[in-house]
């Protein structure tokens, strides 16, 4: 493993442990050249995925890009990084089981479903970019949809239960 500090190719594994519910192995390494320590992760990859964009262009699936887009949606929310990482891993595994090629829309829909269960604000943030919201009514529609799925919380058009009496 190449050292990220000096570029030396020799490093020694100092510690290995399972992470992400056993889906990855975290390794602490020490560079033989400069003595710096760094962490690497080893994950199972079922296959090399190719993403087919709306334009028909193809590119390699990039896990970091997926994690970054979910991270932007979850920014400044009280969500543990482990939960976000688990979501990214779950989406990647789900996509890998579908075949060698996956449409960009399938990735977007998988992220939407995952964020809907993780955090409603992050879901709305991601939806605003993914679905290309242009007007305030677009936000209102998706917020209303999310509100209808939360039991015990009245939707904006429905008066609270105690006001019905």
Task: Give the pLDDT confidence score for residue 20 in this predicted structure.
Answer: 62
Contact between residue 151 and residue 157 where contact means Cβ atoms under 8 Å apart: no
- Tens of pLDDT along 104-147? 999 999 999 999 999 999 999 998 888 888 888 888 888 888 87
- Parts of the chain with a pLDDT under 50: 151-165
What is the per-residue pLDDT for 28? 96
Q: Which two tokens stand for residue 122?
A: 């992050």
Q: What residues are paired with 51 via a beta bridge?
A: 59, 102
Q: Are 19 and 26 in contact (CB under 8 A)?
A: yes
The answer to whether 3 and 33 are in contact (CB under 8 A) is: yes
Q: What's the pLDDT at 153?
A: 44
Rounded Cα–Cα distance for residues 64 and 85 (Å): 11
Specify the DSSP class assigned to residue 50. E
Phi-psi region of 6 (alpha: psi -120 to 50; beta: other; left: phi over 0): alpha
């Amino acid at each position: 493993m190449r050292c990220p500090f000096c570029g030396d190719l020799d490093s020694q594994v100092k510690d290995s442990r399972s992470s992400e519910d056993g889906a990855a192995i975290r390794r602490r390494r020490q560079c033989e050249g400069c003595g710096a320590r760094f962490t690497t992760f080893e994950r199972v990859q079922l296959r090399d995925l190719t993403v087919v964009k709306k334009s028909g262009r193809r590119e390699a699936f990039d896990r970091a890009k997926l994690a970054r887009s979910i991270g932007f949606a979850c920014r400044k929310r009280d969500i543990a990084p482990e939960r976000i990482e688990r979501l990214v891993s779950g989406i990647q595994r789900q996509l890998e089981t579908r075949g060698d090629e996956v449409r960009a829309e399938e990735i977007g829909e998988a992220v939407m479903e995952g964020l809907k269960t993780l955090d409603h604000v992050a879901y709305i943030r991601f939806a605003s970019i993914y679905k290309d919201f242009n007007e305030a009514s677009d936000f209102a529609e998706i917020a209303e949809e999310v509100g209808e799925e939360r039991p015990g919380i009245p939707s904006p058009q429905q008066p609270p239960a105690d006001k019905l009496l």
